[in-house]
Amino acid sequence: MPVKKQESIDTGERAMAAEKRPIVERRDFLKILGISGAAATLAGCGNTSIESGVEKVQSYVQPEDFVVPGNSVFYASTCTQCPSHCGVMGRVREGRVLKLEGNPNSIISNGKICGLGQASIQLQYNPDRLTTPMIREGGKLVTASWDQAMKIVNDGLGKDSRIKGNEIVFLTNSVSGHQKVLINNFLESYDSKNHIAYDSLSTQVGDQVRENIYGYTNPVHKIKEARLILSFGNDFLGAGVSPVYLANQYAQFRKAPRGTLIQIEPRMTLTGGNADRWYPIRPGTEGVFALGLANALIQHPEYDTTLPTELTESLKAYDKYTVGQITGINPDAIGHLIAMMWEKTPTLVLSGLSAEGHQQGYQNAYAIELLNVILGNVGKTVTAPMENPFPQMTHVNGNYQGLVALNNQLDAKNVKVLFMMGVNPVYTAPAFIELKNKLSNVPLKIAMVTQLDETAELCDVVLPLLSPVEEFGTHLASYQPEAIEIGIQQPLMEKLHAHTKSFGDVLLTLLKERDEKSYSKYPDYYSYIREAVVKSKPVFKSTLSDDDFWDSALMNGVLHVPLKEAQIDKVKIESVNLPKVETHPEDVNYPFYFVPSVKADMRDGRHANLPWLQESPDPMTTVVWDSWVEINPKTAQDMQVREGDILEIKSSMGSVLAKAYLFPGIQPNTVSIPFGQGHTAYGRYASNRGVNPFKIINPITDEKTGELALFATRVQVTKTALNEKVVKDEGPTTLQQGRKLVATMAADKAELSKEV
Amino acid sequence: MNIKKIELFFFGILFSMLAQLGHAEAFHPGGAPGTQTIDGYNALGPKVEQPIEFPHYTHANVMKINCMYCHTYARRSAVSGIPRLDKCIGCHKMIPEVRDRPRIKKLFWYWDNHISIPWKKVHDLPDFVRFNHERHIQRFYFQDKRPVREVCGYCHGDVANMTTARRVKAISMGWCIDCHKKDHQISKVNLKTTNGPNDCWMCHK
Ligand code: SF4
């Protein structure tokens, strides 16, 4: 019996049998079984995993002498993932960029970059990149040649179209450098000034306050000089204005003598998670708390009065009990904080998005900034930025007003040709704007993208752009802390897809149609950028030849304008801007505050197409690849909500469904969903995943600036009968794995001045 | 069915399937003549069809060209790379006698059209293995001053006697470790011995 025979084989015999085994390439074996493709990647273990004759190994035909396969070459460039524009170094091997790191020459990055910057490499190799132009035919987008696509664009812009300048709109995100210059030149050639910069997560409210008080939208915050930072929802370590630079400053701030960070916000941000003390506050009342502090500060005998009496008088209304009642923070906290502030000087007070995104957002930010003035921080930890010798290249900060401007023009049916680049307004615009419908009235919509997103899908012509690692450019960050730094962007590798084009080349082609004489000398964007950079040589007081100057700019990746420090010479304070002392009435229909969170990687969803970001755990909750609703464990207990229960979050604008995540770092009557997910397009990694909180934002705007109040929506929270597993990195139990690894104390029990 | 039964059953099926498919190249039950058998496994890899049948024999054996003259990256980089095309052309421009041979015609066709030759990999390690050529060449060729054919041959066999290269060593993890376990004399003058690193991270980074 064969069975018996097999059973009788002892170990020795088996070893011998094994020796006689045939070798079968594991890959062949899988092929035989009809398993191939993804399953075949199982191949790899054992001694038969070496392959022969399967893959190709191609040599260079005639490489540069310095090229050694397997050895990396490093090129400097600039990160374009967020407006901080860190200098980066790309590691290139065999003509492929493999990794980005920080460029040590860059003041902003100081040799480091964030996860978002690291992941930008995935834009390049994304399998869903748009590789050919597309045009709309019979209501559908179909692949086309560049000639076909550009003919439609030229026909729309040409003489026969009888187009008037202001009927052309160029919608972008925040933009700077020669990108901005070219856009403006293009529009000017049509006598149009319609460059609209729209950013769904704009800092406009705070910028406006700082502009009005100091005369600068972006004064430098000297974090490292401060000994105490009081931050009202400013996530400067996460999704801030320059996270890499500020994290570096923060590391120095934490060195001996160790600085203290106090964070006040309704939902714990990454920065809040790093703070020594974290105070949850009722959303929208941050300004009132700041004035409570201001009122207590000016009582102090050391207080040196420079504020107008009218203002100090009005501060009296903000006594600690009233403030405590309005904000939900224990009134004694004010006393503790004041004691620390006087002790740990200099201080620095920062306002952030969650304090500014309210109907009284401007007043909140104003009250917070007032603390810097009272504490004497101006000139010490709040200083003026450097003087910028290139005003035409300065960063334009996008804002919600951009969307309003577009919306108004769309309502007036005044837009004939709409160019869009770096924005996805169909995804980010709140539902009440009904942008999708309005866009259908625009006769010619042109999207310039690397990947088809929700907006590009509605356009008539979609032009495939080079990825940032294939492109030239110059960038001026919005936050320029120590010098004016011009980031030079250069291709780190040749373009991957033959039919993609540089943004600059497209615009130069269009410009040549209008003004052949001025632009014919630039065969391509490269020559344009090169000449522009070389012409700026005198500003840098360089004695190098043109060629050497250009080469050194490419090698260093940054150009620094010699220091020319400015001073904040006058501070203008008006008491009319103070937030009102009023209790926030409960809304019976919508009893919860909705405070969406801005993740350092996803931001407003523009990076949801990068799988590294999708798979990296959210630093606060460790959840991956999804949306979730953060709810306070006590509230959850009252509502009998367990982790994974599907909750319906409903505002007056609509509702979304997401899994509950019990999160102690949030106010009891508040829920939060991160921005970034809920795409219906934008490639396989982004689409059909999670929900989009922009769509339930109420139409509330900041009274003063008109910016959308992103954190002022009230919602109902309803538990549905469904429960799904929350995919996350932390163990099955939240809160330090159910063990008290790090003991914490409620803020009202802590005696801050003694402890920190 | 216990494990033994499953195993034999499995190989029974496999034998019959392979016999039917006649995968002679991928599969050498008895071992081809002159093949080494290592760890009980036949080490001879399949014949690989290359776009040009490169005669290693002519170059390395008849002409006695040092392997590293063409495979110049092996001593400088983790990967040995494939010689750049202009290197082949550099010499062959000077050898008009062989210009009309089919292989050389093909070579010049690639050069004239500026196309890189799509060679097939013969020793393709899995991606999770990082073999470093430079480290081995520096140690055994430059430091120990052993003959180059011997040094390259540790892993690649006697390529100088082949036309297109073919795998003749197992190049499995056990096979690598066997060599790393051996005591290698540090240098001609230093009689002390050392063995190769035995740390997982050395190769699996
Ligand atoms: S902070 Fe912004 S610019 Fe800097 S590396 Fe990160 S994403 Fe890039």
Given the CA of residue A81, which atom of ligand 1 is nearest to it?
7
- Judge: B123–A52 Cβ closer than 8 Å, yes or no: yes
pLDDT, greater one: A1 or B88 = B88
pLDDT for the residue A594: 97
Question: What's the whole-number mean pLDDT along residues A95-114?
Answer: 95
Which 3-state string (H, E, C) describes A411-450? HCCCCCEEEEECCCHHHHCCHHHCHHHHHCCCCEEEEEEC
Q: How many CB atoms lie within 10 A of CB B149?
A: 17
B26, B120, B126 member nearest A44 (Cβ): B126
Question: What's the whole-number mean pLDDT along residues A3-29?
Answer: 39
- Judge: B116–A63 Cβ closer than 8 Å, yes or no: no
Optimal mutation site among B21, B47, B82, B205, interface A, most CBs of chain A within 10 A? B82
Q: At A713, list the tokens.
A: 């929506």
Please give the angle made by the CA atoms of A718, A722 and A723, to the nearest 5 degrees: 105
Helix (H, G, I), strand (E, B) or coil at B135: helix
pLDDT, greater one: A268 or A732 = A268
Give B 16-55 residues with CB within 8 A of chain A: 17-18, 21, 23, 26-29, 39-42, 45-49
Task: Residue B172: list chain A partners with CB under 8 A.
Answer: 46-50
pLDDT tens digits for range A564-598: 777 888 889 887 788 888 777 888 899 999 999 99
pLDDT for the residue A291: 95
Q: How many CB atoms lie within 10 A of CB A748?
A: 13
* d(C-alpha A575, C-alpha A366), whole Å: 10
pLDDT for the residue A417: 95
* d(C-alpha B149, C-alpha B32), whole Å: 23
For tokens 């029974």, the residue is B12
In chain B, % of residues over pLDDT 70: 79
Residue of A nearest to B50 (CA): A53
Question: What's the whole-number mean pLDDT along residues A535-545?
Answer: 92
The confidence band for A488, taking pLDDT boundaries of 50, 70 and 90, is: very high
One-letter amino acid at A38 equals A
The C-alpha R_g of chain B, in whole angstroms, comes to 20
Listing DSSP states for A35-50 in one string gives: --GGGGGG---STT--
Q: Is the pLDDT of residue A47 over 50?
A: no
Smallest CA–CA distance, residue B155 to chain A, in Å, is: 13
* d(C-alpha A19, C-alpha B37), whole Å: 9
Q: Is the pLDDT of residue A100 over 70?
A: yes
Nearest to A365 by CA among A513, A225, A206, A253: A206
Given the CA of residue A244, which atom of ligand 1 is nearest to it?
1
pLDDT tens digits for range B37-67: 554 445 678 889 999 999 999 999 999 999 9
The confidence band for A394, taking pLDDT boundaries of 50, 70 and 90, is: very high
Q: Is the pLDDT of residue A301 over 60?
A: yes
Question: What's the whole-number mean pLDDT along residues A679-683?
Answer: 96
Alpha helices in A454-524 (DSSP H): 503-514, 516-519
Q: Is the CB of A117 under 6 A from ligand 1?
A: yes
Best residue among A114, A175, A245, A246 to mutate for probing ligand 1, ranked by most atoms within 8 Å of CB: A114
pLDDT tens digits for range A62-84: 988 888 888 899 999 999 999 99
The confidence band for A750, taking pLDDT boundaries of 50, 70 and 90, is: low
pLDDT for the residue B46: 85
In chain A, % of residues over pLDDT 70: 91
Question: What's the whole-number mean pLDDT along residues B65-76?
Answer: 94
In chain A, % of residues over pLDDT 90: 76
The confidence band for A45, taking pLDDT boundaries of 50, 70 and 90, is: very low
Which 3-state string (H, E, C) describes A360-408? CHHHHHHHHHHHHHHCCCECCCEECCCCCCCHHHCCECCCHHHHHHHHH
pLDDT for the residue B20: 36
In whole numbers, what is the pLDDT of chain B averaged over residues?
80
Q: What's the whole-model pTM score?
A: 0.83
Winning range, highest mean pLDDT, from A9-13, A178-182, A729-733, B178-182: A178-182
The confidence band for A615, taking pLDDT boundaries of 50, 70 and 90, is: very high
Q: Is the pLDDT of residue A752 over 70?
A: no
Residue of B nearest to A56 (CA): B120
In whole numbers, what is the pLDDT of chain A averaged over residues?
89
Nearest to B124 by CA among B84, B82, B77, B87: B82
Task: Residue B114: list chain A partners with CB under 8 A.
Answer: 61-62
Q: Provide the edge-to-edge strand list for the sheet that holds A87-93.
A: A73-78, A87-93, A96-102
Q: Is the pLDDT of residue B75 over 70?
A: yes
The confidence band for A751, taking pLDDT boundaries of 50, 70 and 90, is: low
Question: What's the whole-number mean pLDDT along residues A720-734?
Answer: 84
pLDDT for the residue A747: 65
pLDDT for the residue A567: 84
What's the Cα-to-Cα distance from A274 to each of A185, A270, A670, A702, rounded to whole Å?
A: 45, 7, 21, 29
Q: Is the pLDDT of residue A486 over 90?
A: yes
Question: What's the whole-number mean pLDDT along residues A169-197?
Answer: 94
Question: What's the whole-number mean pLDDT along residues A439-448?
Answer: 95
- Ligand 1: distance of its center to the CA of A88 in Å? 9
Best residue among A89, A121, A236, A244 to mutate for probing ligand 1, ranked by most atoms within 8 Å of CB: A244
Taking 3-state DSSP, the helix, strand and coil percentages for chain B, each rounded to the nearest 5, stand at 45, 5, 50
| Contact of A691 with A656, CB cutoff 8 Å | yes
B57 CB near a chain A CB, below 8 Å?
no
pLDDT tens digits for range A637-661: 999 999 999 999 999 999 999 999 9
pLDDT for the residue A263: 97
Residue nearest to atom 8 of ligand 1 (CA): A117
pLDDT for the residue A79: 97
pLDDT, greater one: A158 or A349 = A349
